[in-house]
Structure 1
Amino acid sequence: MAFGGAGFAISYPLAKVLAEHLDSCIDRYPHLYGSDGRIHACLTELGVTLTHEPGFHQMDVRGNIFGLLAAHPTRPLVSLHHLDAVKPIFPKMTAMEALKHLLEATKVDSQRTLQQTVCYDRWFSWTLSVSWGYAVQLVGFNEFLPVAVLMQETYVPWKRGPLYINHNLNTAKYQPDPCKRPVVFFFDRVSSSRDGIASIYKKTENNCTFDKIQEVRVFSKKLDLDIKQLQAPRRQCCDVLPSSADRVMEINIRECGAEELIYMHA
């Protein structure tokens, strides 16, 4: 469950029991704000403990939420709230156009949408972070994995003042100098066939480096997680492939081996 407008989900058996007592329960909590708060109180009366699901996003922030989306938790995306209070999630689009664009990827592989994968280019010592269906980031050096997966503070707090602090304790400061930021390639299109899924990401602006590379192609299989994988998610692995075209980088996403590590190579 996520408090606020991010939403919540309950099972059918629980909903069936809740429906029998809902009217009287709501009458007992007129002082609570919002339907979610009242439902929570009613479920508490039934002795049900709620579980936080990272795929629900209340997003009480403003501005550019690129950092939040590009470092999404390793869980399926469920909801994005307050999109009317933030900038469009894709450049050069309206908020509605950008959301529909993200849904193009979601329709092809909903469980993989926004899932972050990090791989290292052995030839040039580059670090690449793929947020599937959204963006690819390219860093021109080997970056430790715990740093590569950090959420960048591209956004600003929902409300300003000493009482409103950043609740994301483990984040990375956003570099104001574009020359010091990763090169970003945004999702352009996706196609699916019997051989797998190919998603294309294109650079929208230059930032002092990597002028030659204009496009990143990411190959993957449809993600279909079973209940055990959902309960104990594991980040997948990826490999930088020898490029088949000039000005293009190609990446393959796959399941990691049983004992495989994701780390930068000397």
Structure 2
Amino acid sequence: MQIDLRGDISGFLSSHPKFPLMSLHHFDMVEPIFPAKDRFDSTRHLLKAAAADQSRTLQQIVCYHRQNNWSFSIAWGYSAHIYENIIPRSVLQYPIETFKTWNRSPRPPHYMFNTRRRSWNPCEAPHMFFMENVEKTVAGDEIVTSYGRAWPRGLPACSASGNHSADFVSKIRVLSPAIKRFEIDRSECCDIVQVDGNNAEIKLRECRTGEIIA
């Protein structure tokens, strides 16, 4: 993958296609990809995830918490989003347009892929979290990535899905098998293990036969 974008590319990286990250071109033209870090430290931070499991780095996994009508979108080793609504995977796979085109005055179409416009609708705008840490469990059979809230969303709860606010969640832990993936053209699935206190915990797994992942 080669990036020819400018500005804040977090929206693109958070909905990365199902193939490995190859290279980040023109990195000097994009903003630091992690909050409160400069470009150099941001790169080192992302490489920590790649060192732990390059096959999953930036791969998108989507799962749902039906009790609260929430959608979770994980870009492994980079970010996690909570939406206060059940949003189809087919929609979440489109990057939020946080970035700008490489050419400053391009004619449409601006990109070679579909995007989502930024929204301030509480049923469409995500709560945003970024990776803080990656480590193996004591047993060594799982990798744990932890994602911390970047900033308050600053919106009311989504009334259309029952007013189940996710404002209280400050950290998301994602557990993945310590086995590198070979079928990277296929998404993994995940389960919400718990939403308790200020934390949410998610466990990745292979999708079951017949499980809808589109």
TM normalised by structure 1 equals: 0.71
Aligned match of 1:261 = 212
1:251 matches 2:195 = no
- Indicate conservation of the 8 Å contact 2:48/2:134, yes or no: yes
Distance in 1 separating the partners of 2:44 and 2:209: 37
Q: Which residue of 2 aligns with 1:28?
A: none
Aligned AA for 1:239?
D
Letter in 2 for 1:196: E
Distance (whole Å) between structure 1 residues aligned to residue 57 and residue 28 of structure 2:
21
Rounded Cα–Cα distance in structure 1 between residues aligned with 2:121 and 2:78: 19
Gaps of 5+ in 2: 155-164
Greater percentage in helix: 1
The Cα offsets for residues 158-206 of structure 1, whole Å up to 9 and x where unpaired, read as 122244741234211122x485520011000011132311110000210
Aligned equivalent of 2:150, options 176, 184, 204: 204
- Which letter maps to 1:221? P
CA distance in 2 between partners of 1:166 and 1:223 (Å): 38
Find the aligned partners of 2:81 and 2:179 in 1 and give their Cα distance. 21
Could you say which residue in structure 2 is the equivalent of 1:215?
Answer: 171
State the Cα deviation string for residues 73-118 of structure 1 (Å, max 9, x = none): 1111111111110000001110111111101111101110000000
Q: After TM superposition, which residue ranges in structure 1, 4 or more long, deviate above 6 angstroms?
A: none
Deviation of 1:225 (Å)? 3.2
Distance 1:135 1:97 in 2: 16
The one-letter code matched in structure 1 to 2:167 is D
Percent identity, aligned pairs only, is 34
Q: Deviations over 1:20-69 (max 9, x none)?
A: xxxxxxxxxxxxxxxxxxxxxxxxxxxxxxxxxxxx21x22111001110
- Equivalent AA in structure 2 for residue 170 of structure 1: N
Aligned to 2:132: 188
Superposed counterparts of 1:9-88, under 5 Å = 56-57=1-2, 59-88=3-32
Contact 2:101 2:111 in 1 (8 A): no
| Higher RCO (CA < 8 A, seq sep 6+) | 2
8 Å Cα contact 1:119-1:262 kept in structure 2: no
CA contact (8 A) 1:136 1:184 kept: yes
Aligned length: 201
Q: 1:145, 1:164 → 2: CA distance?
A: 26
Counterparts in 2 of 1:52-201, with a 5 A limit? 56-57=1-2, 59-163=3-107, 165-175=109-119, 177=120, 181-193=125-137, 194-201=140-147
Quick one: structure 1 residues 96 and 162, their matched pair in 2 at CA, closer, same or farther if it must change by over 3 Å?
Answer: closer
Larger radius of gyration: 1
Gaps of 5+ in 1: 1-55
Tell me by how many angstroms 1:211 deviates.
2.4
Cα separation, 1, equivalents of 2:102 and 2:20:
25
Q: TM-score, normalised to structure 2's length?
A: 0.87
Cα distance in 2 for residues equivalent to 1:163 and 1:127:
34
Distance (whole Å) between structure 2 residues aligned to residue 90 and residue 259 of structure 1 = 36
